[in-house]
Chains A and B, each alone.
Chain A
Amino acid sequence: AQSVTQPDIHITVSEGASLELRCNYSYGATPYLFWYVQSPGQGLQLLLKYFSGDTLVQGIKGFEAEFKRSQSSFNLRKPSVHWSDAAEYFCAVGISNFGNEKLTFGTGTRLTIIP
């Protein structure tokens, strides 16, 4: 069965420090991978996506992610975090269901930024 694992439930980093959020997926076919961010009580905003091609993808707000097929990973990175990056981050894989795409989300990683 398809699944997405985010091993870190909660991460705390200092403002200005680098960040890496981990995501591993289990899916037999070519995955469509996404990272979404959610601020408290808000909807989800797409940070970046990977469909094919260059395995290093750039997103909004200075985020990037690298697809590694051999490790079934799609980790999110940012070289220097800002206090406004504090939020919940969800990795997701898009799966075909009779021609329709369903998103399967990981359990999320809550990011706290300390001054």
Chain B
Amino acid sequence: DTEVTQTPKHLVMGMTNKKSLKCEQHMGHRAMYWYKQKAKKPPELMFVYSYEKLSINESVPSRFSPECPNSSLLNLHLHALQPEDSALYLCASRPSSGVGGEQYFGPGTRLTVT
């Protein structure tokens, strides 16, 4: 199994909703990432988890709350989002978080905040 899966594929939520995005990999990778990608822009790093511990938070608003319950699973909990948070949310994983390795990306979750 050499893929990163993300669910759901699409999500529409209101500004008062609470929802979660899920990312899963079974490649034994120990580093996992969340990115946000707006239309016609490159991905922007949000969070990095290394060995299930949060190692990088790119000053992301607290309405985004990441969680790494185990080495295969990464969640992104969403609460009180704004319309400008509508974007493609990408998850990625790597064997480790040190320099020099490629990241494997999932297909993304298309989020629309109404």
Point out residues on A near B: beta carbons under 8 Å: 32, 34, 36, 41-46, 49, 51, 90, 94-103, 105-108
Which residues on the B side are within 8 Å of A95 (C-beta)?
Answer: 99
Contact of A44 among B6, B41, B105 (CB under 8 A): B105
Query: Is A96 a contact partner of B99 (Cβ separation < 8 A)?
Result: yes
A-B contact count (CB 8 A): 65
Shortest distance from the beta carbon of A50 to any chain B beta carbon, whole Å: 10
B43: nearest chain-A partner, CB-CB: A105
Which residues on the A side are within 8 Å of B43 (C-beta)?
Answer: 44, 90, 103, 105
Which residues on the A side are within 8 Å of B56 (C-beta)?
Answer: 97, 100, 102
Interface string of B57-91 (1 = CB under 8 A from A): 00000000000000000000000000000001010
B25 within 8 A of A: no
Which residues on the B side are within 8 Å of A51 (C-beta)?
Answer: 100
Query: Is B41 a contact partner of A94 (Cβ separation < 8 A)?
Result: no
Max chain B CB contacts within 10 Å: which of A43, A94, A98, A102? A43
